[in-house]
């Protein structure tokens, strides 16, 4: 059976546009609000990534850190995150949901328990920032058995040989990190170079869905629309932060940004 | 039970996934860091057996660090407690005032070999930062130090030194604003700058290669101590206890390394964690209090955390020990029952400082004061055939304000 993720990419390919993937943190700023945000943006988004907030994130920049700390401070727990996904999937059951987080939050639940909860709530895929290949071999195999996509990450530092090996173990989507940076960094590499690296991946595995993330904003998204998919995270977390600062509704703040992003790539 | 192999350096007793005892350590790192970590791993694997590199290390240890540091008997303390004979390895006499100089010098030398001009590091007590700034200055490297905002305030003398050496301090305001946050921020900086910059983790924590480099560097302490003990006693004592404070565990790993193959009935290792304020539930003692295994800063280890896997807050009067995790090497030593771990409270450390500094010509910082607290606890119960040696691995100058405030005096 085709995964929701694969179907989402096929739809975008038919429409000759890249998929738009959003990243927001579960529980930011509250459990209820983060679900409202997902529901509001879903019509404009092809795949939603839901961040599992972690309090010692080694690969996240300031914006996502702020969102994560805010969510944790407001009491979000792992079990709430699965409830958020379940609620979201109730009326949008084919919209793919990818959970993104750090391995310790999975490890403490136990891999099997965690995957069972993923399955029960309708999670389609997982990105585990600090579980690189080949350390992720066992876990990604477990995911595959449960028909949950384990999404491999590639970066500008990934060598060609390593890339081949990682791609061999990839499922329906891979994630290319645009530059040497934590999330939310300023795009310090030209879109031309990013797309050149992107093409190298596509050459190895033409049928694979490759998304680009890190440093993508309203300003930069248009220049990368040749990719199969584009991930925007920090810009949305920032929208939540500034809405809260201005005592406005973060749902509207995020929705505005998402609409603008979408307009730039269709 | 886990087993330690004889005649194999402790740092090399991991499996192909870099796990000690099949479960501690590893490389839980973002994809971007895979290559720099691999490059560094290969470079260090070569350098540690390279005669010229070792000569260079030994040259700087002798002429710059000031090896060997003194090994002295604490006669007054011994007489006062009336039990075991107490000695100190006064590592605080090393250039800069603490054991952090060994790791810093080795990292600076590696950084040069790697052809990098920038070096970054984390610090809690400020010693790792101070020493890295010293080494950077000596070897002509540009240096940034990541430090929690809370630690910048409480360890001001070391911050002054860091700045005087021309390094930049990057204050970290996230989380508890202590060492754990400084290490995270330093790793994040490295993710963004790993093409031009070398990272030096300040203790035996982090991805495997940093644990290796650090413990390999601090092993100098026990290399010296073995010679000094043979000279003092004509042999390694029949009953010896090596007591060391543990934060990340670099000082203890170095203090014990060369004694690893001795029977533990003969040479016992005692690690002392930070118990925190007496009346508080917060502590920084994951081994003493049986914390669960989790992932922190790229390595699996016993770590203070909640059920969901969020890392827990800690509290200690000693910034250097105020860390929720602990080196995978010490997790391994604990589970193999080679070392025993306990903790001392803030108050016990302060009382130990008071007693030691009054009786002896010694002014140990709050970190080794935790180790002295344990020595003071157990010495009276032991007989004079037992030798206790405490690693006095840091000088108290940096803690002057804290000690003065809490005890009303400073030596
Ligand atoms: C003097 C001193 N002792 C001990 C420590 C704890 O670190 P480790 O356990 O790595 O020796 C520190 C850390 O800053 C320190 O400065």
The domain that holds A38 is classified in CATH as 3.20.20.70
Q: Do the beta carbons of residue B86 and residue B392 sit within 8 Å?
A: no
Residue of chain A nearest B186, judged by CA positions:
A58
3-state helix, strand, coil in chain B (%, to 5): 45, 20, 35
Q: Do the beta carbons of residue B18 and residue B27 sit within 8 Å?
A: yes
A214 Rama sector, left if φ>0, alpha if ψ -120 to 50, beta otherwise? left
Smallest CA–CA distance, residue B17 to chain A, in Å, is 7
Residue count of chain A, please give it: 266
Last residue of a domain, one of B156, B191, B215: B215
Residue of chain B nearest A214, judged by CA positions:
B192
Which residues have CB under 8 Å from A52's CB, separation 6+? Answer: A26, A78, A81, A99, A100, A101, A102, A105
Do B43 and B80 lie in one domain? The reply is no
Per run of 10 residues, the mean pLDDT along chain B (length 411 residues) is: 96 98 98 98 98 98 98 98 98 98 98 98 98 98 98 97 98 95 98 97 98 98 98 98 98 98 98 97 96 98 98 97 98 98 98 98 98 98 98 98 96 82
Q: Which of B223, B217, B224 is nearest to B70 (CA)?
A: B224
Distance B100 CA to ligand 1 centre (A): 7
Do B164 and B241 lie in one domain? The reply is no
Which residues have CB under 8 Å from B304's CB, separation 6+? Answer: B283, B284, B286, B289, B291, B311, B312, B313, B314, B324, B325
Find the Cα–Cα–Cα–Cα dihedral A210, A214, A220, A222, rounded to 10°. 20
Find the Cα–Cα–Cα–Cα dihedral B181, B187, B193, B197, rounded to 10°. 110
Q: Is residue B13 part of a domain?
A: no
Distance B109 CA to ligand 1 centre (A): 21
Residue of chain B nearest A162, judged by CA positions:
B35
* B250 Cβ closer than 6 Å to some ligand 1 atom: yes
Do B109 and B171 lie in one domain? The reply is yes
Q: Is residue B9 part of a domain?
A: no
Instruction: Measure the CA–CA gap between B176 and B179, rounded to whole angstroms.
Output: 9
Distance B203 CA to ligand 1 centre (A): 8
Q: Is residue B1 part of a domain?
A: no
Instruction: Measure the CA–CA gap between B204 and B283, rounded to whole angstroms.
Output: 20
Do B157 and B227 lie in one domain? The reply is no
Q: Is residue B333 part of a domain?
A: yes
Residues of chain A with pLDDT under 70: none
Do B199 and B254 lie in one domain? The reply is no
Give the Cα-Cα-Cα angle A209, A125, A20 (nearest 5 degrees): 50
Give the nearest partner residue to B28 out of A131, A180, A181, using CB atoms: A131
Give B394's strand partners: B98
Measured in whole angstroms, the distance separating CA B192 from the mean position of its chain's CA atoms is: 27
Residue of chain B nearest A80, judged by CA positions:
B308
Distance B37 CA to ligand 1 centre (A): 24
Find the Cα–Cα–Cα–Cα dihedral B385, B386, B387, B391, rounded to 10°. -170
Instruction: Measure the CA–CA gap between B200 and B181, rounded to whole angstroms.
Output: 15
Q: What is the DSSP letter of B66?
A: -
Measured in whole angstroms, the distance separating CA B282 from the mean position of its chain's CA atoms is: 21
**A59/B30 touch (CB, cutoff 8 Å), yes or no:** yes
**A109/B296 touch (CB, cutoff 8 Å), yes or no:** no
* B98 Cβ closer than 6 Å to some ligand 1 atom: yes
Q: What is the model's pLDDT at position B411?
A: 82
Which domain covers residue A221, as residue numbers?
A: 4-265
Q: Which value, in Å, is the radius of gyration of the alpha carbons in chain B?
A: 19
Q: What is the DSSP letter of B358?
A: H
Smallest CA–CA distance, residue A263 to chain B, in Å, is 30
Q: Is residue B2 part of a domain?
A: no
Written as one string, the DSSP assignment of B11-50 is GG-B-TTSEETTTEE-----HHHHHHHHHHHHHHHHHTT-
Cα A67 to Cα A241, B19, B185: the distances in Å are 7, 33, 16
**B32/A78 touch (CB, cutoff 8 Å), yes or no:** no
Q: Do the beta carbons of residue A254 and residue A63 sit within 8 Å?
A: no
Do B140 and B226 lie in one domain? The reply is no
**A157/B194 touch (CB, cutoff 8 Å), yes or no:** yes
Residue count of chain B, please give it: 411
Q: What is the CATH number of the domain that holds B152?
A: 3.40.50.1100
Task: Domain count for chain B, please give it.
Answer: 2
Q: Is residue B354 part of a domain?
A: yes
Active site members of A: 49, 60
Q: Is residue B141 part of a domain?
A: yes
Distance A92 CA to ligand 1 centre (A): 53
Smallest CA–CA distance, residue B16 to chain A, in Å, is 10
Instruction: Measure the CA–CA gap between B81 and B87, rounded to whole angstroms.
Output: 13
Give the nearest partner residue to A55 out of B33, B295, B311, using CB atoms: B311
Do B165 and B33 lie in one domain? The reply is yes
Query: Does this model's pTM top 0.90?
Result: yes
User: Half-sphere exposure (CA, 13 Å, Cβ side) for A96?
Assistant: 27
For the purposes of burial, counting CB atoms within 10 Å of the CB of A25, is it exposed (0-12), middle (13-18) or buried (19 or more)?
Answer: buried
Which residue's entry shows tokens 């101590």?
Answer: B225
Q: Residue A128: count other Cβ atoms within 10 Å of its Cβ.
A: 26
Q: What's the per-residue H, E or C state across chain A?
A: CCCHHHHHHHHHHHCCCCEEEEEEECCCCCHHHHHHHHHHHHHHCCEEEEECCCCCCCCCCHHHHHHHHHHHHCCCCHHHHHHHHHHHHHHCCCCCEEEEECHHHHHHHCHHHHHHHHHHHCCCEEEECCCCCCCCHHHHHHHHHCCCEECEEECCCCCHHHHHHHHHCCCCCEEEECCCCCCCCCCCCCHHHHHHHHHHHHHHCCCCCEEEECCCCHHHHHHHCCCCEEEECHHHHHHHHHHHHCCCCHHHHHHHHHHHHHHHHC
* B246 Cβ closer than 6 Å to some ligand 1 atom: yes
Do B52 and B159 lie in one domain? The reply is yes
Task: Domain count for chain A, please give it.
Answer: 1
Which domain covers residue B113, as residue numbers?
A: 19-61+100-215
Q: Which residues of A touch B298 (CB under 8 A)?
A: 58, 130
Do B161 and B288 lie in one domain? The reply is no
Instruction: Measure the CA–CA gap between A261 and A20, rounded to whole angstroms.
Output: 8
Q: Is B294 on the interface with A (CB under 8 A)?
A: yes
Report the run of H or E that residue B123 belongs to, with start and end: strand B118-123
Pairing verdict, β B71-73 and B85-89: antiparallel
Q: What is the DSSP letter of B380?
A: G
Last residue of a domain, one of B186, B215, B244: B215
Q: Which residues of B touch A130 (CB under 8 A)?
A: 28-30, 295, 298
Its sign, for the CA torsion A198, A199, A205, A211, is: positive
Last residue of a domain, one of B176, B197, B215: B215
* B367 Cβ closer than 6 Å to some ligand 1 atom: yes
Do B254 and B275 lie in one domain? The reply is yes
Q: Which of residues 13-52 of B touch A (CB under 8 A)?
A: 17, 26-36
Q: What is the model's pLDDT at position A92?
A: 85
Q: What is the model's pLDDT at position A91?
A: 86
Smallest CA–CA distance, residue A76 to chain B, in Å, is 10
Q: Is residue B237 part of a domain?
A: yes
For the purposes of burial, counting CB atoms within 10 Å of the CB of B332, is it exposed (0-12), middle (13-18) or buried (19 or more)?
Answer: buried
């Amino acid at each position: 059976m085709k995964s929701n993720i694969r179907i989402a990419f096929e739809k975008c390919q038919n429409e000759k546009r890249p998929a738009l993937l959003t990243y927001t943190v579960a529980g930011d700023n509250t459990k209820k609000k983060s679900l409202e945000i997902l529901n509001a943006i879903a019509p404009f988004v092809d795949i939603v990534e839901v961040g599992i907030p972690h309090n010692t994130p080694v690969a996240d920049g300031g914006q996502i850190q702020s969102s994560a700390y805010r969510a944790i401070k407001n009491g979000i727990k792992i079990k709430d995150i699965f409830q958020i996904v379940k609620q979201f999937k109730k009326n949008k059951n084919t919209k793919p949901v990818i959970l993104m987080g750090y391995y310790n939050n999975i490890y403490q639940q136990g891999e099997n328990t965690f995957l069972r909860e993923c399955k029960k709530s309708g999670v389609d895929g997982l990105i585990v920032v600090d579980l690189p290949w080949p350390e992720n071999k066992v876990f990604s195999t477990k995911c595959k058995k449960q028909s949950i996509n384990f999404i491999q990450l590639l970066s500008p530092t990934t060598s060609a040989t390593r890339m081949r090996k990682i791609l061999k173990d990839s499922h329906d989507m891979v994630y290319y990190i645009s530059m040497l940076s934590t999330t939310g960094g300023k795009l310090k590499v030209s879109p031309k170079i990013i797309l050149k690296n992107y093409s190298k991946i596509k050459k190895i595995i033409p049928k694979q869905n490759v998304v680009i993330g890190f440093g993508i904003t309203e300003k930069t998204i248009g220049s990368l629309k040749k990719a199969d998919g584009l991930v925007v995270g920090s810009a949305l977390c920032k929208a939540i932060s500034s809405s809260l600062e201005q005592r406005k509704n973060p749902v509207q703040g995020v929705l505005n940004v998402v609409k603008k992003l979408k307009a730039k790539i269709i | 039970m886990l087993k330690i192999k004889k005649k194999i350096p402790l740092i090399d007793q991991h499996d192909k996934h870099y796990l000690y005892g099949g479960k501690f350590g590893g490389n839980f790192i973002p994809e971007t860091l895979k290559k720099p970590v691999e490059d560094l791993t290969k470079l260090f694997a070569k350098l540690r057996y390279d005669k010229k590199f070792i000569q260079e290390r030994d040259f700087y240890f002798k002429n710059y660090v000031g090896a060997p540091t003194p090994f002295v008997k604490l006669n007054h303390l011994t007489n006062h407690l009336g039990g075991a004979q107490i000695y100190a390895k006064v590592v605080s006499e090393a250039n800069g005032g603490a054991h952090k100089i060994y790791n810093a010098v080795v990292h600076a030398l590696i950084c040069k070999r790697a052809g990098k001009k920038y070096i970054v590091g984390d610090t809690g007590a400020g010693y790792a930062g101070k020493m890295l700034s010293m080494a950077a200055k000596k070897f002509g490297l540009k240096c940034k130090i990541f430090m929690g905002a809370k630690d910048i305030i409480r360890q001001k003398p070391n911050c002054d030194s860091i700045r005087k050496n021309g390094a930049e301090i990057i204050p970290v305001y996230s989380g508890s604003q202590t060492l754990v946050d400084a290490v995270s921020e330093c790793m994040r900086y490295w993710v963004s700058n790993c093409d031009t910059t070398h990272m030096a983790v300040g203790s035996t924590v982090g991805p495997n290669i940093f644990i290796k480099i650090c413990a390999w560097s601090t092993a100098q302490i026990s290399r010296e101590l073995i010679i000094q003990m043979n000279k003092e006693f004509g042999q390694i004592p029949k009953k010896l206890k090596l007591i060391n404070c543990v934060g990340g565990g670099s000082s203890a790993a170095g203090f014990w390394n060369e004694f690893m193959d001795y029977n533990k009935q003969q040479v016992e290792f005692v690690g002392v964690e930070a118990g925190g304020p007496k009346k508080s539930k917060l502590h920084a003692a994951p081994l003493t209090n049986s914390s669960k295994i989790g992932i922190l800063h790229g390595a699996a280890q016993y770590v203070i955390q909640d059920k969901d896997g969020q890392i827990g807050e800690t509290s200690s009067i000693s910034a250097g020990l105020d860390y929720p995790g602990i080196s995978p090497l010490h997790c391994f030593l604990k589970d193999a029952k080679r070392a025993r771990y306990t903790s001392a409270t803030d108050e016990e450390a302060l009382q130990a400082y008071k007693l030691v500094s009054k009786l002896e010509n010694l002014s140990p910082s709050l970190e080794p004061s935790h180790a002295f607290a344990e020595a003071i606890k157990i010495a009276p119960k032991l007989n004079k055939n037992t030798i206790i040696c405490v690693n006095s691995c840091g000088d108290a100058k940096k803690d002057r304000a804290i000690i003065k405030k809490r005890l009303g005096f400073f030596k």
